[in-house]
Structure 1
Amino acid sequence: MWLEEVKSGLRDAFTWRGDRTDQHRYADVTGWWRRADLLGHLGPALAHLFAGEQPTVVVGPESRGCLLGPLVALHFGVGFVEIRKDRVASSDSDIWLQRTTPPDYQDRHLTLGFRKSLVTSGDRVLFVDDWIETGGQANGAHLLIEDAEATWTGLSRDRCFRRC
């Protein structure tokens, strides 16, 4: 199975929940996680979009970015950093980088963040998520990476395998 087959499998395992008039309608990608053939190819397929970039770390927002990001990170042989949403820094003494996003698809402003020590100035960072509607979270993550003085190598999303 390779890229076109992976795309086809993703489409087959994807469904919309709710009808078009339902304000709570959502994209349900949980079928992706159930299919071992898709799960085993998601990381390599997304990493393929950035084969020449050589990231040193992959970042992804909770929740589904934390499922996909590690699959991509494993393919590159690098680590993964979770970008937390609307979480306060824990009671530890670590410094946190935080940014507030522009409005998302639900008109929310989210606060994104991670421990500053997890992304350093020498890092080349790839952002991975499953779905991008408005780009607000990607924009906020990009600003966080700039705050860490690291290099943004790009954004990979699995819906139809796009490089942004």
Structure 2
Amino acid sequence: MTSQARAVTLERFRWIGGHADVWPIFRDPEALAVVVRGLAGPFRDDGVTAVCGVESRGFLLGAAVAVELGVGFVAVRKGEGIFPGDKVTRRSDPDYRGTRQELRLQRAAVGPEDRVLLVDDWIETGSQASAVRSMVEECGGQWAGCSVVVDQADPARRADLGVRSIVTAAELPAWKGTS
């Protein structure tokens, strides 16, 4: 990933009440463009034909990366919101909060000719990414990997999912318990 994307991410990242906040990146169009290029970069020459994003920040980042790569976007919905057509569904393993998400992807959105990249803001357990990969593969698609702003996954999970990141969680400023 580019050093410029790394610098922008670290400059705009903050902690609020103990929660990581990457939203300031979205408020600045130049920062967002740099981060999107950073997310797309490692996969630019990898034959990606579609980008997936999990609701909600994954929708924003994934769609922007899809435009950057000149490919289409495939939405992955959580829960029971309106999502027409035949769907592939997976229940993720527990995430960092112990929550299991029901994820849905429109079956017709991914086919055997597709090489799919997942884009999101953060990966920790990899449970959602693993569920998305399983759905992509059920639809006949090929998994290209996962591009994230912040990587907090363990090395085995990172390798298994093909994770590339702009920064790792260890590079973020420490939460001081005051903001």
Q: If the length of structure 1 is used for normalisation, what is the TM-score? A: 0.87
SS of the residue 1:131 aligns to: strand
2:105 counterpart residue number? 114
Q: Deviations over 1:43-71 (max 9, x none)?
A: 22111111221211000101111111111
User: Which amino acid is the alignment partner of residue 66 of structure 1?
Assistant: F
How far off its partner does 1:88 sit? 5.4
Runs of 4+ in 1 over 4 A off after TM superposition: none
- TM-score, normalization: structure 2? 0.80
Structure 2's unaligned 5+ residue stretches are 152-162, 166-179
% same residue:
36
Contact 1:43 1:73 in 2 (8 A): no
Q: Is the 8 A contact 1:42 1:71 kept in 2?
A: no
Aligned-residue RMSD, C-alpha: 1.7
Give 1:5 deviation, angstroms: 2.2
Residue 22 of structure 1 is matched in structure 2 by none
Report the AA paired with residue 71 of structure 2.
Answer: V
SS class of match (1:130)? strand
1:40 aligns with 2:24: no
For structure 1, the residue ranges without an aligned partner over 5 or more in a row are 19-24
Partners of 2:124 and 2:47 lie apart in 1 by: 26
What residue is the counterpart of 2:149 in the other structure?
158
Aligned length: 154
For residue 99 of structure 1, the aligned residue among 80, 90, 104 is: 90
